[in-house]
Structure 1
Amino acid sequence: MNPTVVFYDPSFPYAGERPDAEALAQLRERYIVADALSLAEALQSADAYVHLHGPYFPKAAWLAILAHAREGKGLLSVGGAPFRIPVAENQGRWVAEPEQTGYHQQLQIHEALPVDPAPIASLAASREVPQFEGRERLFTIEPTYGVVLHVTKADDQPGQLGSSGPMDARLYPLLKGISGCGLEREVAAPAVLLENTKGEFAGGRWIFINQVIRERFWQQGGAEAIGEWAEFTSAGVTEFWLKPNYASYEPGDRAVLTLQGQRLGAKRGETLDWTYTVRLYKAVQTEVQQAVPGDFQLPGPL
């Protein structure tokens, strides 16, 4: 198994609270912690890349970062809008360039728009993809970003404006900002999962934590959480389809279900053992309802 590479450099620009000595020791014990000058070389043999510097990244290492992503490998970015401010070395000092979108657009992130944290009263992990369940306490409510994706590149209608081909990726919220005042609406997603199923980055599983992290994160087990999330991204994308043999059935018909899986990314050639649990639920209302033109009343009491 190839290692996980963590990019952290104490002399490099950083957004948020830096890891303390204990957290940094934990990261060094389990992973390769690369500085800005050694990052490009370290990424050549990595399964997962952990980027702790948020918008700041070494300009000289960008092609290596992009090559890592194109191989369908894992990516975890922490600390704000990802890959937005290139930093170059000038006479022994790190100099940040103006904020720009050209780099993260190469990762199919067209834009990262700021989200006001004022309506957020609490943070909650996603139930559908529970990777952050139990880790909500690590985060404080902070300004965050919403990513605008451009993951449809195939043009299935030549000559028309824009593209309307298949989606190359799927986006899932991992950590949600919930509003107060009794409404409890989902108003932000400070952490998201992007799974690349087709196209240039097929198989790549990426997590973006689009807010800065504070001292609480490092003091309450953030280094351990980073390891769990990095391992999750390194596994790559696996898709499953559960398909019936017919769209509908007559009474007495026996349904046949086919479970189909496909593993993508850098580890697609490796063999894995899977355990599946399939549950079949019977509808409470099994009586067939006949549609009546012009009748829009619901059957039964409301």
Structure 2
Amino acid sequence: MMRTAEFEAERGRLQRLAYRMLGSVSDAQDVVQDAWLRWTRAGADVADPAAWLVKATTRLCLDRLRAAKAERAAYRGPWLPEPLIEPLVEDPVERAEDVSVAFLLALERLSPLERAVFLLREAFEEDYAAIGRALGRSEAAVRQLAARAKAHVREARPRYSVDRAEAERLAHAFLAAAASGDASAFSALLAQDAIMVSDGGGKRMAALRVLVGPADIAGLFLAVAERHGPMAVSSVRLARINGYPGVVLEMADGPQTFALEPGPDGRIAAIYVVRNPEKLGHVSAS
């Protein structure tokens, strides 16, 4: 019982670390389960259970990142992390700056070791010596990795955050504009330098490039509506998706998510659309 209690006390922290490392809810759950299995086989004389579990989880994540390198390089179209969905409440469990899509995409540009060091230091406040022990690196090497990683992701954290009322307003406005077929109304919601990234993974229809600017983004929505008619949506749910205001739709061919990154003047700075069914197994619109 004691070993179970020690693990459960750390489960949430390990899940958060693994998701940020891997960008996948399902893979993070698998890693934490693997860490549990290793924990059950560990000796009873582990002096610091929390440190042991962080080390095991980090190394399991590094193994997965290295194994997935070729698969990621061959990915069809833009890659987005699996959506992390929370209720649209005032105090979300996950801080938006630590799980935003922009931040996770910035982490993707780091090497696996840089990513591990950055997260353990910046998000989980581990000291350099402890990180070195977890990764089998010297403290000096860890400091160097941390400095390099911090420089790469410095600008990636969200600049704007919104409360529940504003998040609901933005999500409702997006839904209304998308359904209206009015290009002007849709464009008015978007910042001048807004982008849209759509991840279908080659499994469902999605844009194979990043769309830039209101005209480009609105044009795609209108073209899809003209070609396929109004979207057959069976249910709609507002949520926080990776800390952003978001919408979860249940379509005829499965769920999809829209994360709306807030920008200046109450407009949308970025739309992140996940349609790849392999990333939506944990998603339900109900």
Q: Does TM-score exceed 0.5, indicating one fold?
A: no
Larger radius of gyration: 1
TM-score by structure 2 length? 0.25
Normalized per residue, the structure richer in strand is 1
